[in-house]
Amino acid sequence: MDIEFLKLQACGNDYIVVDTFKNTILNLEALPDMAAQITSRRFGVGGVGLLLIAQGNEEKLRMLLYDPYGEEVGSDGLALRCLARYAFDSGLVTSENFRVESGNRITPVEVLDSLNILIENDPPRYWQEEQLLSERAGETFHRPIKLGSTEINYTPVFIDAPHAIIFARDYGFDYPDMAQELEENARFAEGTLISMVRVISREALSLRTWQVGLGEILSSEGAAYAAVSAAVLNGLADREVQVHLEGGNLLVEWSDQDNRFFASGPADYVFMGTYYYEETEGR
């Protein structure tokens, strides 16, 4: 089966984009297997995910996203940027403002110009996921954790996954070693993202992110949101912040009106091609 694709990247996270309005012969049951094959950096095209643009149930477009293990991913802001860039440029949508279904969520997006796409996201929550996280007078937002003989403070934030935000100014540790030690000793659940954040100014942050069970990752839009909210809650930053990720930058605003996030940033084309997919036995 020949599959036409484009490869786009946002903040260094690269996605293989397949337009199912053109590739109508795709077998949905084969998608996990196809994702594992096509995202392989040695034997396939290579990417952090296979992104399919499909017909939505309530909106014109729906994003189906699979990771290199063939698991479906419900939400990914950087992938959504790539979808929005292609959908607008190709004429799948005719307005700069539209909404996209992904997982159980409908996300508003706006194509600002040829470089920047604005995405709206839900408010942050506590790790228990039930209560919204917002500024409250007198509340302490950091939590202590022991790392050997040293006590480290982190701010827990839930945005699509648990995030542990650590501000680098307080510690002189080497980041990968510290993140590895935290993964081994802190008993964070698999999938938790540990971000070391450096406060450049009240309008700028930089961060590196480690995912428990996976290791260091290049970029995460959710981590950028979590870093901004943690910095605001700890009195270290304003609500509109330039976030420097390892693979690129996002301008993130945490609204003081409804606690929602608004983030603008680029999505760029890498290349296009045709991939020959052959279903494995048993499919």
Q: Tell me which DSSP letter residue 240 carries.
A: E
pLDDT band per the 50, 70, 90 thresholds, residue 170: low
DSSP string for residues in the chain: -EEEEEEEEETTEEEEEEETTT-TT--GGGHHHHHHHHT-TTTSS--SEEEEEEE-SSSSEEEEEE-TTS-EES--HHHHHHHHHHHHHHTS--SSEEEEEETTEEEEEEE-SSS-EEEEEPPPB-TTSSSBP---TT----EEEEETTEEEEEEEEESSSEEEEEEGGG----HHHHHHHHHHHS-PPTT-EEEEEEEEETTEEEEEEEETTTEEES--HHHHHHHHHHHHHTTSS-SEEEEEETTEEEEEEE-TTT--EEEEE--EEEEEEEEE--PPTT-
Mean pLDDT over 222-233 rounds to: 97
Residues 6+ apart with CB under 8 A from 113: none
pLDDT band per the 50, 70, 90 thresholds, residue 157: very high
Q: Which pLDDT score, from 0 to 100, does residue 136 have?
A: 81
| Mean model confidence pLDDT for the chain | 92
Domains in the chain (CATH in brackets) are 2-122+267-276 (3.10.310.10), 143-259 (3.10.310.10)
Q: Which pLDDT score, from 0 to 100, does residue 283 have?
A: 45
Report pLDDT digits (tens) over 116-155: 999 999 999 999 878 999 888 778 898 998 887 888 899 9
Mean pLDDT over 236-255 rounds to: 97
Q: What does the alpha-carbon distance between residue 82 and residue 8 come to, in Å, rounded to a whole number?
A: 6
Report pLDDT digits (tens) over 1-60: 899 999 999 999 999 999 999 987 677 889 999 999 999 999 999 999 999 999 999 999
pLDDT band per the 50, 70, 90 thresholds, residue 273: very high
Q: Which pLDDT score, from 0 to 100, does residue 69 have?
A: 94
Chain centroid to Cα 183, Å, comes to 20
Residue 281 has pLDDT above 70, yes or no: no
